[in-house]
């Protein structure tokens, strides 16, 4: 005959079950916090600081920063002003935390939670950050006086949100991101930039393809991009490729140079910050411009001064496709 558990054993069993449930809940909570803070992907992050030395700073995941850089590049590629980029970034921060999510209210999708059923595009199109940003700017451009309207009003006239006041709370961080990613504020964006091991498409061709994706097809012609030390068979006709005698000494790296005119400093810093924002997925090791340099693994360190001011514009040092250090 089986004996009933004693009160002491019952208490011990309940305590064990409670402890186990608590551990599971804490684990789930921790996972959700990580997902929220990092935008659904753990790993190294980025920091944007004010160019006014007022101590203002915000941190983002590498994924969030890369999406922000795409939004900014699409905006400037369309000739939109910095205010438009700020509005777009604040909107995406509110709608998706700058994460390209595949779900939302009803059939909302992507960075701006746009809805296929409302004519924003197909699901595939909306989940393309470049397309999503472009169609947002297309609608924003139709808003009369959007540059002088309060940000929340301008965003609401595009989005038609049930919570229009929510956009305003993201204006400070969107303003800093916009200043950095449009090149208005120099050397204000840093990222850890540790390589994304799931990304196989790296090297100079991947950098060129990403530039065209975000800025448009004229970007390489306008900059006259030059590649040294590791061009591949996919090299585009818009860039000049020359072998570099120092390629083997740099661990199989290649350098993409984007010439920037003396009167185009803002363009130079936009390209430099764009490269830093994309450093993880494109395996970019160093970015230098206007006598300053950023290196992967230094998110908490500012851009440091180089011994000499390199001429020739923005220099992007990237791991060659298929190469490992």
For residue 173, CA distances in Å to 8, 19, 167, 242, 294 come to 56, 40, 11, 41, 22
Looking at residue 89, its pLDDT comes to 98
Do strands 314-319 and 240-242 pair parallel, antiparallel, or not at all (unpaired)?
Answer: unpaired
Write out 293-318 in H/E/C secondary structure.
EEECCCCCCCCEECCCCCCCCEEEEE
What distance in Å separates the CA atoms of residue 283 and residue 194, rounded to the nearest whole number? 7
Q: 3-state DSSP call for residue 49?
A: strand
Q: What is the pLDDT of residue 228?
A: 58
Q: What is the pLDDT along the chain (325 residues), one digit of tens a residue?
A: 545 556 555 555 555 555 544 443 444 344 333 333 333 444 548 999 999 888 899 999 999 999 999 999 999 999 999 999 999 999 999 999 999 998 767 889 999 999 999 999 999 999 999 999 999 999 999 999 999 999 999 999 999 888 878 999 999 999 999 999 999 999 999 999 888 878 777 889 999 999 999 998 877 665 556 655 544 433 333 333 332 323 223 456 889 999 887 778 999 999 999 999 999 999 999 999 999 999 998 656 679 998 765 556 999 998 755 444 3
Q: Which long-range CB contacts under 8 A does 241-248 form with residues at least 24 apart? A: 241/204
Return left, alpha or beta for 257; rule: phi > 0 is left, psi -120 to 50 is alpha, else beta. Answer: beta
What is the per-residue pLDDT for 162? 80
- Measured distance CA(216)–CA(49) in Å, rounded: 27
Residue 319: the pLDDT is 78
Is residue 325 within 8 Å of 252, Cβ to Cβ?
yes
User: What does pTM read for this prediction?
Assistant: 0.78
Give me the residue label for tokens 């089986």.
2
Instruction: Please state whether beta strands 284-289 and 314-319 pair in parallel, antiparallel, or not at all (unpaired).
Output: antiparallel
pLDDT in the model for residue 277: 96
> 204 with 230: CB under 8 angstroms?
yes
Given a contact cutoff of 8 angstroms between Cβ atoms, the answer to whether 178 and 72 are in contact is: yes
Position 41 scores a pLDDT of 45
């Amino acid at each position: 005959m089986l004996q009933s558990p004693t009160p002491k054993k019952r208490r011990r069993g309940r305590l064990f079950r409670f402890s186990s449930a608590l551990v599971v809940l804490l684990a789930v909570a921790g996972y959700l916090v990580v997902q929220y803070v990092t935008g659904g992907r753990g790993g190294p992050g980025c920091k944007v600081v004010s160019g006014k030395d007022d101590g203002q700073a915000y941190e983002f995941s590498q994924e969030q920063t890369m999406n922000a850089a795409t939004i900014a590049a699409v905006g400037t590629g369309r000739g939109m002003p910095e205010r438009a980029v700020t509005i777009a970034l604040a909107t995406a921060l509110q709608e998706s935390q700058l994460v390209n999510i595949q779900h939302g209210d009803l059939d909302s999708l992507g960075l701006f939670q746009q809805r296929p059923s409302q004519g924003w595009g197909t699901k595939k199109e909306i989940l393309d950050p470049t397309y999503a940003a472009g169609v947002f700017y297309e609608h924003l451009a139709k808003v009369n006086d959007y540059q002088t309207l309060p940000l929340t009003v301008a965003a609401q006239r595009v989005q038609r949100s049930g919570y229009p006041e929510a956009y305003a709370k993201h204006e400070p961080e969107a303003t800093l991101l916009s200043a950095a990613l449009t090149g208005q504020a120099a050397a204000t964006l840093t990222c850890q930039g540790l390589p994304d091991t799931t990304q196989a498409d790296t090297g100079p061709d991947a950098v060129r393809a990403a530039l065209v994706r975000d800025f448009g097809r004229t970007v390489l012609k306008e900059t006259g991009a030059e590649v040294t030390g590791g061009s591949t068979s996919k090299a585009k006709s818009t860039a000049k490729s020359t072998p570099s005698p120092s390629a083997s000494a740099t661990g199989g790296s290649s350098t993409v140079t984007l010439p920037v005119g003396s009167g185009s400093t803002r363009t130079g810093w936009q390209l430099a910050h764009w490269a830093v924002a994309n450093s993880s997925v494109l395996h970019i090791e160093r970015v230098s411009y206007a006598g300053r340099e950023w290196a992967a693994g230094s998110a908490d360190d500012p851009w440091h001064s180089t011994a000499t001011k390199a001429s020739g514009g923005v220099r992007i040092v990237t791991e060659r496709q298929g190469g490992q250090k």
